[in-house]
């Protein structure tokens, strides 16, 4: 083996010594230029290969740049040659180009491995410091960046080369992550619990402590700081006040008081007399198995009746069902709730069997089509999203926490609403719907706003309105007006309705004054919408486009393209508006935003518009529907023929090009030697076409040519009916990998 590598080294050295970067001119010999590019590609290939000179630390910039420059020199001269000579040269330059692409991945991977090494060192230093706060900070930075960087390691060509780079950094980083993963998780639960205690959100605090304890109690959990976390857990638990959190009842003669933490029985025992249920007698009190609930046996409760439960100085209310409930699923509250997207909603239920005993079986919780997510059931973290199967606790209790979901790469949770369905999977398999919860995004930016109330959700009892995708809150510290005349908060709330326009000087701090002035009390303006283009984003290849849509008759519509005003127009009596021949920026996404203004009003970038907070948008992705690479799948190894498939990599990949579903059409494919064939293709999937018919129009067609060129297409379109472009940016040639090349 040593002789083989020595020979390889000598060959590479000889080749390298013969390569010079030519001064390109029209008299350059194209054969020599192509040979130089091929030789440079060979040197680059071995420089990034484990079998060659790659040491997985040195970036082969010199070989990489030389290969790129020799390819560019050859392509420049080839541009002045005949068509057949150009095709021949391009075929021979395919491999050097592949090596350039692989070298880029290799160089990126080395850079990535160096970053991962620094992250590993930082995390190890934090662990060595024995400061869990520093560990958590370093852990979050390391894991977030590691997820991005490790992907670059996987792009290296060649299994042995790829493994050699990864093995230098992956194992040590992943070991450190595993060493402190549970430490960081438990610390986050405890920090959240402490925050909830300070905010007097004791139910949420109790559930966070349950999550932390589920890890601490598990002796098999791998901790680096177990002693510290156990002490921190005990301190947080001791700081949590013992208070009743919610009431569940079977509606017959059982009432359960659920406490924030374990109820320690006093010396005199659990005395029923210390608990009171308004209008009813309490016969007995029993502690639940987990000691966090006290179950009262009462006299017969009345249907549809509100009750107050008292313990010491604490009081909680509950209401029995108006109609006898045979589901055995008693919900604490079925009212509609209005929360903010940063909040969580807690649903609680008491589950019983037909005989009144506690139901301990399986429970399915479903959120339907809501984008909200289930985050916890009985203190156990849930990762399943909109549906999960769990168990009621030994006392039949079910505590569900639901949060607004986070959108893709969003900084704030998404606005949504949810109405959970709770179903027993065992026993009588009954089902019950809980109350509806709306999650709204709070407007937390101060400033003047002109709001058009576009939602039916005007929760005057909760002191807010929801419009334009935001929740705006008021309080007794604010000032209220109707047509500039000051009124009381109560009068303002009674007048406020959908369609009104409200001028607001909005302050986010409750100790500051916001002013609210209803200046137009009318029905809602017609929505501003784009009708042309009818779809968004639209792929389009052209210099201009007629933009049109609908809006409120008589209003002014102003349209911006990529934040630059392109025109305005008045909506006609039928609600239509048009801006003709709007110019398009080439090879980029043209995003149009439109605002409508009531008569006599105007503004910049939507200021003062009817739809300030909800502009109409549409996007035209301008650029050819073309390919940057075509891969031939020669299924029979007989060269280009029927049943083979062509897989396309499209120009402008962010545009989401794909073949129109079920498309079929014609391609004229040249074999590189001037011979043509008429090829019928049909849709396989979004980027693949299959050859279903093949008719040669020229004798001597070479099915096994090394390079084929698409010279013409018919009926080959994308999802927006944009025709495949063989003259636009990108390639229309493809290589036969089974040829002798």
**Whole-number mean pLDDT of the chain?**
83
Query: Does the residue 187 lie in any domain?
Result: yes
Query: Does the residue 740 lie in any domain?
Result: no
Long-range contacts of 311-314 (CB under 8 A, 24+ apart): 311/244, 311/257, 311/274, 311/275, 311/276, 312/274, 314/243, 314/244
pLDDT tens for residues 443-462?
888 888 888 887 766 666 67
Same domain flag for 503 and 571: no
Q: What's the CA angle centered on 724, arms 722 and 730, to 5 degrees? A: 125
The whole-angstrom separation of Cα 559 and Cα 570 is 12
- The token duo for 316 is 């909680």
Same domain flag for 283 and 340: no
Same domain flag for 234 and 89: yes
Q: Which residues pair with 707 in a beta bridge?
A: 735
The whole-angstrom separation of Cα 292 and Cα 310 is 17
- Say if CB 262 and CB 219 are below 8 A apart: no
Nearest to 476 by CA among 518, 516, 503, 521: 516
Of the pLDDT bands very low, low, confident and very high (cuts 50, 70, 90), residue 520 is low
pLDDT tens for residues 119-168?
778 888 888 888 888 888 888 887 777 676 667 666 777 777 666 666 67
pLDDT tens for residues 365-388?
999 888 898 888 887 877 767 889
Q: Kindly give the pairing relationship between strand 314-319 and strand 306-311.
A: antiparallel
Same domain flag for 16 and 160: yes
Query: Does the residue 649 lie in any domain?
Result: yes
pLDDT higher than 60, residue 21? no
How many other C-beta atoms are found inside a 10 Å radius of the C-beta of residue 456? 8
Same domain flag for 380 and 434: yes
Of the pLDDT bands very low, low, confident and very high (cuts 50, 70, 90), residue 530 is very high
Same domain flag for 384 and 434: yes
Same domain flag for 86 and 161: yes
Q: What is the pLDDT of residue 15?
A: 43
Of the residues 319, 347, 382, which one is the last residue of a structural domain?
A: 319
pLDDT tens for residues 686-738?
999 999 999 988 888 999 888 899 999 999 999 988 989 988 666 788 877 65
Same domain flag for 48 and 82: yes
Query: Does the residue 741 lie in any domain?
Result: no
Query: Does the residue 647 lie in any domain?
Result: yes
> pTM of the full predicted structure?
0.49
pLDDT higher than 60, residue 267? no
Same domain flag for 352 and 288: no
Domains held by the chain: number: 6
Same domain flag for 600 and 514: no
- The token duo for 49 is 């290969």
DSSP string across 180-225? HHHHHHHHHHHHHHHHHHHTT-HHHHHHHHHHHHHHHS-TTS--SS
Of the residues 319, 345, 366, which one is the last residue of a structural domain?
A: 319
- Say if CB 99 and CB 54 are below 8 A apart: no
**Is the dihedral angle over the CA atoms 355, 356, 362, 363 positive or is it negative?**
positive
Helix/strand/coil (H/E/C) assignment for every residue in 497-547: CCCCEEEEEECCCCCCCCEEEEEECCCCCCCCEEEECCCCCEEECCCEEEE
H/E stretch holding 230 reads: helix 226-239
Helix/strand/coil (H/E/C) assignment for every residue in 594-615: EEEECCCCCCCCCCCCCCCCCC
Query: Does the residue 173 lie in any domain?
Result: yes
Same domain flag for 458 and 504: yes
Query: Does the residue 334 lie in any domain?
Result: yes
Long-range contacts of 444-450 (CB under 8 A, 24+ apart): 444/508, 445/508, 446/506, 446/507, 446/508, 447/506, 448/503, 448/504, 448/505, 448/506, 449/503, 449/504, 449/506, 449/612, 449/613, 450/501, 450/502, 450/503, 450/504, 450/608, 450/609, 450/612
Q: Domain with 292 in it: what CATH number?
A: 2.60.40.1220
**Domain carrying residue 273:** 244-319
Of the residues 240, 261, 277, which one is the last residue of a structural domain?
A: 240
The whole-angstrom separation of Cα 81 and Cα 326 is 87
Same domain flag for 654 and 590: no
User: In degrees rounded to 5, what are phi and psi of residue 188?
Assistant: -65, -40
Q: What is the pLDDT of residue 2?
A: 41
pLDDT higher than 80, residue 58? no
The whole-angstrom separation of Cα 422 and Cα 280 is 30
Q: Domain with 413 in it: what CATH number?
A: 2.60.40.10
Q: Please list, in sequence order, all residues whose beta carbon lies within 8 angstroms of the beta carbon of residue 255, skipping any fewer than 6 positions away.
A: 247, 248, 249, 277, 295, 296, 298, 301, 307, 309, 318
pLDDT higher than 60, residue 521? no
DSSP string across 13-82? HHHHHH-------TTS-HHHHHHHHHHHHHHHHHHT-TTTT--SSS--HHHHHHHHHHHHHHHHHHTTS-
Query: Does the residue 707 lie in any domain?
Result: yes
């Amino acid at each position: 083996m040593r002789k083989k590598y020595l020979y390889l080294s000598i060959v590479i050295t000889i080749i390298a010594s013969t390569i010079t970067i030519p001064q390109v001119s029209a008299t350059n010999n194209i054969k020599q230029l192509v040979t130089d590019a091929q030789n440079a590609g060979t040197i680059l290939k071995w420089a990034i290969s484990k079998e060659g000179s790659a040491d997985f630390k040195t970036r082969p910039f010199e070989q990489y740049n030389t290969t790129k420059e020799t390819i560019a020199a050859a392509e420049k001269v080839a541009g002045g040659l005949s068509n057949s000579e150009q095709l021949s040269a391009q075929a021979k330059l395919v491999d050097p180009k592949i090596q350039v692409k692989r070298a880029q991945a290799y160089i990126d991977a080395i850079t990535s491995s160096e970053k991962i090494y620094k992250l590993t060192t930082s995390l190890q230093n934090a662990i060595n410091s024995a400061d869990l706060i520093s560990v958590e900070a370093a852990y979050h930075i390391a894991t977030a960046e590691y997820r991005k960087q490790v992907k670059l390691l996987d792009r290296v060509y060649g299994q042995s080369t790829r493994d050699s780079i990864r093995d230098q950094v992956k194992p040590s980083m992943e070991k450190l992550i595993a060493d402190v993963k549970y430490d960081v998780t438990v610390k986050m639960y405890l920090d959240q619990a402490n925050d909830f205690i300070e905010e007097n959100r004791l139910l949420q605090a109790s559930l966070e402590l349950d999550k932390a304890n589920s890890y601490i109690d598990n002796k098999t959990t791998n901790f680096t700081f177990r002693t510290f976390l156990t002490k921190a857990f005990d301190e947080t638990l001791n700081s949590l006040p013992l208070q009743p959190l919610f009431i569940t009842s079977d509606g017959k003669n059982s009432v359960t008081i659920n406490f924030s933490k374990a109820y320690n029985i006093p010396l005199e025992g659990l005395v029923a007399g210390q608990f009171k249920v308004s209008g009813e007698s309490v016969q007995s009190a029993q502690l639940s198995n987990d000691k966090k609930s006290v179950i009262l046996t009462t006299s017969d409760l009345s249907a549809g009746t509100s009750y107050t439960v008292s313990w010491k100085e604490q009081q909680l209310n509950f209401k029995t069902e108006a109609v006898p409930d045979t589901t055995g699923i008693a919900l604490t509250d079925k009212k509609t709730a209005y929360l903010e997207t940063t909040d969580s909603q807690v649903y609680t239920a008491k589950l019983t069997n037909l005989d009144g005993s506690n139901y301990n079986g399986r429970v399915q919780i479903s959120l339907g089509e809501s984008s909200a997510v289930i985050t916890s059931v009985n203190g156990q973290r849930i990762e399943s999203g909109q549906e999960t199967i769990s168990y009621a606790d030994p006392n039949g209790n079910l505590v569900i926490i639901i949060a607004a979901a986070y959108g893709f790469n969003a900084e704030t949770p998404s606005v949504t609403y949810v109405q959970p369905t709770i179903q027993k999977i065992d026993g009588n398999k009954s089902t019950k719907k809980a109350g509806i919860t709306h999650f709204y995004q709070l407007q937390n930016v101060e400033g003047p706003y002109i709001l058009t109330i576009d939602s039916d959700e005007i929760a005057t009892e909760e002191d807010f309105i929801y419009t334009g995708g935001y929740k705006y809150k008021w309080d007794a510290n604010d000032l209220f007006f109707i047509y500039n005349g000051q009124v009381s908060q109560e009068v303002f709330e009674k007048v406020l309705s959908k369609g009104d326009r409200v001028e607001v000087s909005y302050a986010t701090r409750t100790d500051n004054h916001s002013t609210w002035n209803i200046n137009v009390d009318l029905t809602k303006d017609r929505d501003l919408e784009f009708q042309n283009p009818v779809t968004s984003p639209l792929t389009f290849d052209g210099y201009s486009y007629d933009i049109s849509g609908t809006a409120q008759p008589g209003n002014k519509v102003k349209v911006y393209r990529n934040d630059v005003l392109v025109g305005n127009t008045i909506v006609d009596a039928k609600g239509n508006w048009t801006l003709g021949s709007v110019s398009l920026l080439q090879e980029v996404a043209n995003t149009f935003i439109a605002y409508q203004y009531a008569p006599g009003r105007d503004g910049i970038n939507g200021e003062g518009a009817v739809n300030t907070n909800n502009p109409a948008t549409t996007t035209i992705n301008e650029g050819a529907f073309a390919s940057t690479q075509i891969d031939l799948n020669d299924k029979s190894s007989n060269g280009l023929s029927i049943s083979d498939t062509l897989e396309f990599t499209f120009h402008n990949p962010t545009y989401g090009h794909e073949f129109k579903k079920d498309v079929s059409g014609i391609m004229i494919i040249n074999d590189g030697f001037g011979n043509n064939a008429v090829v019928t293709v049909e849709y396989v999937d979004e980027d693949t076409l299959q050859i279903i018919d093949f008719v040669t129009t020229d004798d001597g067609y070479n099915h096994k040519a090394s390079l084929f060129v698409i010279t013409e297409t018919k009926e080959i379109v994308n999802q927006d009916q944009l025709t495949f472009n063989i003259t636009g940016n990108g390639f229309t040639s493809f290589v036969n990998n089974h040829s002798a090349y």
